Structure 1
Amino acid sequence: MHTHHRHLLSSVVASLLLLPMLASAQAERPRARARTLGITFGGETGPNNAITDVPGVEVGHTTLISGEGRIERGKGPVRTGVTAVLPRGKKGVAEPVFASSYALNGNGEMTGTHWIQEGGHLQGPVMITNTNDVGAVREAVISWALEKDLAWDLGLPVVAETWDGMLHDIYGFHVKPPHALQALESAKSGPVAEGSVGGGTGMVCHGFKGGIGTASRKVSVAAGGYTLGVLVQCNYGSRRLFTVEGVPVGEELKDDMPCYLGTKKPDSPMMDWVPACGPASKAGPAANPFEGAGSIIIVVGTDAPLLPHQLSRIARRVPLAIAKMGGLGENYSGDIFLAFSTQSIPSPTKTAVASVSSLQNEHLNPLFEATVQATQEAILNAMLASDTMTGADSIRVFGLPQDKLVKVMKKHGRLTAPPKPPPARKARP
């Protein structure tokens, strides 16, 4: 390791230890996931029902929560963070995976995807944060690569974003490179923290508190026995269109819309539509000129032997799940997806031709179904895991009320008996 790289890491770690806003990446209290409530979306899950069920995949979060009340730019309130997805974990971070990306609506950002589409390879992590801090996270990945003597290999970092300006001082640029480095270094296999954690800390989904969610599917042995996992950063969609397993949940759960506490309206012109908390927030959705605005980032990983053009087909099935949940790919929404396969890719040698495996197209349908199922469940898990949060300018966004959701699902006859959860593997410390 080069001396100046060691100095770089030492200074970064020292800076991180001095940052006061670092919150735990775990939710304050556990909330039931979709399957615990009897909402399954079909299919069989992996042991953790998470993207980390795909062998080798690791996920890490850094969560930043501090301050309350009116926005003081650069001071807070802060409700944001960073999430890192490592397809081959930290040990194999430089080993490429086949990948492809797709945008349903491009009002958003995912850096590095031009080369993924051109070359068919992803090297390094997939990072997710808020809109205005993509640059800081990208800088961190390059610094991390320098530390590992992988600056060339990881020179085009993949960093995606969604907008958390309703609850967060987004123009305060609170995410710094050390925060992204901590998300990378904390990445691990096993259970994944969901809800208001990492990049999803300040996000809003279908008018309820959103954030990070994950789910997985195991296809049958006859179909190859492959695992497919999904991780979402959920920050999209209108309340009135919110749908679960065909049930128009948003039409029934009209109360508890975003609102502001106190007597002073939010300063941001984008938040003029938000009513004061109280009777106004119980009267149904306010007239919102930005209805459906937000964004959703979705990462799909699988151990099935797929080539880039097949992964493109997987990524293009993700919108089917979003549509089932009530998303339209609205004008102000950045709906951007990335799919990768962890199959082994031969290292470059003097031989010009390399051999890889490829699942026949005729056998892709079970993976298409798994993608749609797991994506829906990951979205709902993100919402179910998120408690009510009050943030910038005292705007409050309510967590999805689980008791009311269950009541609505029962009313429409769409709730199954909660299945016995599979035994979860213990997370590595």
Structure 2
Amino acid sequence: MRTLLSSVLLCLLVTPSLGSAQAERARPRARNLGITFGGQSGPLGAITDVPGVEVGHTTLISGEGRIEPGKGPMRTGVTAVLPRGRDGVAEPVFAATYALNGNGEMTGTHWIQESGELNGPVMITNTNDIGAVREGVISWAMGKDLAWDLGLPVVAETWDGMLNDLYGFHVKPSHAIQALESARPGPMLEGSVGGGTGMVCHGFKGGIGTASRKLPESAGGYTLGVMVQCNYGSRRLFSVEGVPVGEELADHKPCYLGTQKPGSPMMSSLTSCGATGGPPAVPTPFEGAGSIIIIVATDAPLLPHQLGRLARRVPLGIAKMGGLGENYSGDIFLAFSTQSLKPAAQDRPANVAVLSNDRLNPLFEATVQATQEAILNAMLASDTMTGADNIRVYGLPPDGLVKALKKYGRLTPAPKSKRPPAGKSGR
């Protein structure tokens, strides 16, 4: 897996079952395969194409075999998104949030809704470790004399209990601090990294994914970037550019190694990886469960209510990929604009720009396009992983994806990409 290559992941513990050969094998992004979803990408195809945005990860991978609560196996971590980078972390940005389905958590959203502003970073982790990450952000802020400014941290989660010892509470405040300190602009890691380490998306290995759009000058030339932590959706509904990829790739469903069934009742419907025969006649209890967190960033001058309109377009991209906002899915989104809100002098009002509402359609389209691409990038970047209780989740096979798209005549020639593989970026 590409995540094992980063030199900044201070708590990375690699198990023999993951394999060093896996770590060296770069996986393609959507555009490398000719899948564009329309629109013009930014130079990196990442949320960090938006000037000022920085992203960092701490990844925790350790242990194998049966779960021993508190000991592992660990397949989890933390991801940090800093709208103005570390140097401008105390300067707020206009922001808004929206929840398609609320079976999840994102702390700090009440103040965003009240004030229209986001103060500090956006952190993403697993369901049970929100508290530790929140504590880490506040401790980090105290060390910078910013405890008041960053006093209501925004921390979001998705559930990684299929592959991770979720009740071991492995993420500590120090891991959140490491993610913040590792945040950088430029190329970013995707896949099984940071908060996305143990996630599952449409029945394949999921995780962190990103994409961007650069609007034409006639539409303002603005940049919009999307980052997802992808842990939602059923296999049978998974769709790419209108192609029923989930139906075409019906095999290689999550399973367990060996003869001992997983201990969790939620995983009782999984079959052995060595079993023969077709898929179960009915979806497993896990089918369609999970969550997806999506962050939208732009340098377009938007007010909070306009950013709310962007956030409400995110589900259109999810729906195109086969998401329904299922009952046990936490689908929560945050959008922010990086335009400066700082007044020239403290006793003077801040002057902000605003894009007229009749010029928002290109940004709506960019949001829907980049959301789809970021989801697919998260899946393509994530290689097969074996985690807690020997459960194995397979990575989306790029060749199978390409074959399905060609079958339906939906694949354009792959463009030449100058971007190095994300795992080679040195971050």
State the AA in 1 paired with 2:236.
R
For the structure 1 residues 350 and 47, does the alpha-carbon distance in structure 2 shift closer, same or farther, using more than 3 Å as the test?
closer
Write the mapping of 1:325-336 to structure 2, written as runs, cut at 5 A: 325-336=321-332
Q: Alpha-carbon deviation of 1:422?
A: 4.8
State the distance in 1 between where 2:87 and 2:111 align.
Answer: 23
Gaps spanning 5+ residues in structure 2: where?
Answer: 1-8
Alignment correspondent of 2:163 = 167
Q: Alpha-carbon deviation of 1:141?
A: 0.2
State the distance in 2 between where 1:421 and 1:228 align.
Answer: 20
Deviations 1:336-389 (A, max 9, x none): 000000001024955464321000000000000000000000000000000000
Alignment correspondent of 1:312 = 308
Is residue 2:205 matched to residue 1:209? yes
Is residue 2:192 matched to residue 1:199? no
State the distance in 2 between where 1:349 and 1:132 align.
Answer: 43
State the distance in 1 between where 2:384 and 2:282 align.
Answer: 19
Gaps spanning 5+ residues in structure 1: where?
Answer: 1-15
Alignment correspondent of 2:299 = 303
From 388, 398, 403, the equivalent of 1:402 is 398
Write the mapping of 1:49-64 to structure 2, written as runs, cut at 5 A: 49-64=45-60
Q: Alpha-carbon deviation of 1:20?
A: 7.3
State the distance in 2 between where 1:285 and 1:382 align.
Answer: 28
State the distance in 1 between where 2:351 and 2:329 align.
Answer: 40
Deviations 1:264-287 (A, max 9, x none): 111101111111112447536763
- Whether the 8 Å CA contact 2:267–2:286 is kept in 1: the answer is no
State the distance in 2 between where 1:413 and 1:350 align.
Answer: 59
Deviations 1:61-102 (A, max 9, x none): 111001000000000000000000000000000010000000
From 25, 34, 41, the equivalent of 1:38 is 34
State the distance in 1 between where 2:407 and 2:195 align.
Answer: 35
Q: Normalised by the size of structure 2, how large is the TM-score?
A: 0.93
- Whether the 8 Å CA contact 2:49–2:223 is kept in 1: the answer is yes
From 109, 112, 122, the equivalent of 2:108 is 112
State the distance in 1 between where 2:281 and 2:140 align.
Answer: 44
Q: Alpha-carbon deviation of 1:291?
A: 1.9
State the AA in 2 paired with 1:239.
R
Alignment correspondent of 1:133 = 129
- Whether the 8 Å CA contact 2:82–2:121 is kept in 1: the answer is yes
Secondary structure of the structure 2 residue equivalent to 1:378: helix
Alignment correspondent of 2:259 = 263
Is residue 2:420 matched to residue 1:421? no
State the AA in 1 paired with 2:115.
G
Write the mapping of 1:4-43 to structure 2, written as runs, cut at 5 A: 21=13, 28-43=24-39
* Most deviating of 343-352 and 107-116: 343-352
State the AA in 1 paired with 2:143.
E
Secondary structure of the structure 2 residue equivalent to 1:319: helix
State the distance in 1 between where 2:386 and 2:349 align.
Answer: 57
- Whether the 8 Å CA contact 1:217–1:227 is kept in 2: the answer is yes
Secondary structure of the structure 2 residue equivalent to 1:382: helix
- Whether the 8 Å CA contact 2:343–2:349 is kept in 1: the answer is no
Alignment correspondent of 1:87 = 83
Is residue 2:355 matched to residue 1:393? no
Q: Alpha-carbon deviation of 1:55?
A: 0.2
Q: CA RMSD in A?
A: 2.1
Is residue 2:388 matched to residue 1:380? no
For the structure 1 residues 166 and 428, does the alpha-carbon distance in structure 2 shift closer, same or farther, using more than 3 Å as the test?
closer
Is residue 2:239 matched to residue 1:243? yes
Q: Normalised by the size of structure 1, how large is the TM-score?
A: 0.92
Alignment correspondent of 2:359 = 363
For the structure 1 residues 22 and 338, does the alpha-carbon distance in structure 2 shift closer, same or farther, using more than 3 Å as the test?
farther
Is residue 2:350 matched to residue 1:354? yes
State the distance in 1 between where 2:66 and 2:344 align.
Answer: 55
For the structure 1 residues 180 and 275, does the alpha-carbon distance in structure 2 shift closer, same or farther, using more than 3 Å as the test?
same
- Whether the 8 Å CA contact 1:22–1:62 is kept in 2: the answer is no
State the distance in 1 between where 2:79 and 2:14 align.
Answer: 13
Secondary structure of the structure 2 residue equivalent to 1:234: strand
Aligned residues: 412
* Most deviating of 375-384 and 284-293: 284-293
- Whether the 8 Å CA contact 1:257–1:282 is kept in 2: the answer is no
